[in-house]
Amino acid sequence: MIRLIVCMRKLPHLPAEEFRRFWLEEHGPLVRKNAAARRIKRYTQIHPSGAEALAGIVARRGGHIAPFDGLAEICWDSVEDILAASQTPEGRRAAVEIVEHEKQFLDLPNLQFFLGEEYVFIDT
């Protein structure tokens, strides 16, 4: 499975509660609606949680807390599927619709992306 991890940043003027609501209640269903056209197999939103536990994890490792408002994980069966989705009129239309929607709540120039292949060690 190929996974795209997107480190999300909300628009600066948008309150955290409104960002969360919009992403969860409006954007998630939009991505679901367009999943077939984009050949997406799985879409996951990871919203911030457990600040106290996170502080302990970070303190033990000497790291820092990432300045993101959430993470999105989009999965495909292959890189070829990602590329193929951009070659159909439906796939291109869906991509435009998703990005136009993202402009309403995401700070697009400050998103960070990572694309990679998964290797599962634990799957219970």
The 10s digit of each residue's pLDDT in 64-116 is 777 799 999 999 999 999 999 999 999 999 999 999 999 999 999 999 999 99
Please check whether residue 72 is in contact with residue 44, taking contact to mean a CB–CB distance below 8 angstroms: yes
Class of domain 2-49+66-117: alpha beta
β-strand partners of 115? 4
User: Beta-strand (E) ranges in 9-88?
Assistant: 42-46, 70-76
The pTM score is 0.87
Mean residue pLDDT across the chain: 93
